[in-house]
Copies of this chain bind each other. A is one copy, B any other.
Amino acid sequence: MTRVLVIDDEPSILRALRINLTARNYEVSTASDGASGLAAVSRERPDVLILDLGLPDMDGTEVIHGVRGWSSTPIIVLSVWGQEEQKVAALDAGADDYVTKPFGMDELLARLRAAVRRSAPAPDEPVVATPDFTVDLAAKRVTRGGDGDIRLTPTEWQLLEVLVRNRGRLVTQRQLLQEVWGPAYGSESNYLRVYVAQLRRKLEPEPSRPRYLLTEPGMGYRFRA
């Protein structure tokens, strides 16, 4: 039986979720603020977390960081309409999905199922090949066509790894900074510029005209396979 922990300060929502989820055979427990929510997470080890971003005692992203520090339990975030940056911050902090309030129970249930399904061990394809080079995520190695390996510094590798893991997808600058440099960073985009340039110099056949490490001005970077 899947265990769900709901962290929300509105009693009506807690009640509605408890009723609906219990009816669907989930095991539901609740908390009404961030502090007791974090305590409940470490105590009960739920399979999924439903977290309202508008808690009275602490910011939603803080709660997410508090969980993500030691657990990868999927987190579905509830937020009111129009708070884009809050949602983005939550996703950057490690939330898995979000639902805007007011929400339909069907939608929430669908996202819940999806989150649980996804949290199953990821069938990783650890080798990504392009016409010009190959990235082996498991072995942490990059090889280029004719010649042998390419030496990457730790930071270069981490950056490349995040981009390759999200291949095809656009990765926000904030997301990159936080994954590579840590949660305290988010606006130091000059770091990215320097390291992306270094990666391009080492990997791209024509560094000034990138084919794989693409820039999306104002948004972030994207690895094209």
**Contact digits for A102-134, partner B, Cβ 8 Å, 1 yes 0 no:** 111011011100100001111010000000000
Contact A219 to B71, CB < 8 A, known contacts A106-B120, A121-B109, A179-B84: no
Query: Does A72 reach chain B (CB closer than 8 Å)?
Result: yes
User: A157: which B residues are within 8 A, CB to CB?
Assistant: 219
Query: Which of these binds chain B: A138-146, A191-199, A201-209?
Result: A138-146
Q: How far is the CA of A35 from the CA of B12 in the complex (A)?
A: 19
Query: Does A16 reach chain B (CB closer than 8 Å)?
Result: yes
Taking Cβ atoms with an 8 Å cutoff, the residues of A that contact B are 12-13, 16, 68-73, 82, 84, 94, 102-104, 106-107, 109-111, 114, 119-122, 124, 138-141, 151, 153-154, 157-158, 168-170, 178-179, 183, 216-219
User: A110: which B residues are within 8 A, CB to CB?
Assistant: 121-122, 124
Q: Given contact pairs A73-B104, A106-B121, A154-B217, enumerate 10 new A-B contacts (beta carbons under 8 Å).
A: A70-B102, A71-B104, A82-B183, A94-B102, A110-B121, A139-B168, A140-B216, A140-B219, A141-B169, A154-B219
Q: How far is the CA of A110 from the CA of B122 in the complex (A)?
A: 8
In the complex the two chains form, is B218's CB within 8 Å of A69's CB?
Answer: no
Q: How far is the CA of A218 from the CA of B153 in the complex (A)?
A: 7
In the complex the two chains form, is B107's CB within 8 Å of A122's CB?
Answer: yes
User: A16: which B residues are within 8 A, CB to CB?
Assistant: 70
User: A183: which B residues are within 8 A, CB to CB?
Assistant: 82
Contact A121 to B107, CB < 8 A, known contacts A154-B218, A157-B219, A179-B84: yes
User: A218: which B residues are within 8 A, CB to CB?
Assistant: 153-154
What is the CB-to-nearest-CB distance from A115 to chain B, in angstroms, rounded to a whole number?
9
User: A121: which B residues are within 8 A, CB to CB?
Assistant: 104, 106-107, 109-111
In the complex the two chains form, is B13's CB within 8 Å of A70's CB?
Answer: yes
In the complex the two chains form, is B69's CB within 8 Å of A102's CB?
Answer: yes
In the complex the two chains form, is A72's CB within 8 Å of B103's CB?
Answer: yes
In the complex the two chains form, is B140's CB within 8 Å of A119's CB?
Answer: no
In the complex the two chains form, is A170's CB within 8 Å of B12's CB?
Answer: no
Which residue of chain B is the closest to A218 with respect to CB atoms?
B154
Q: How far is the CA of A84 from the CA of B165 in the complex (A)?
A: 13
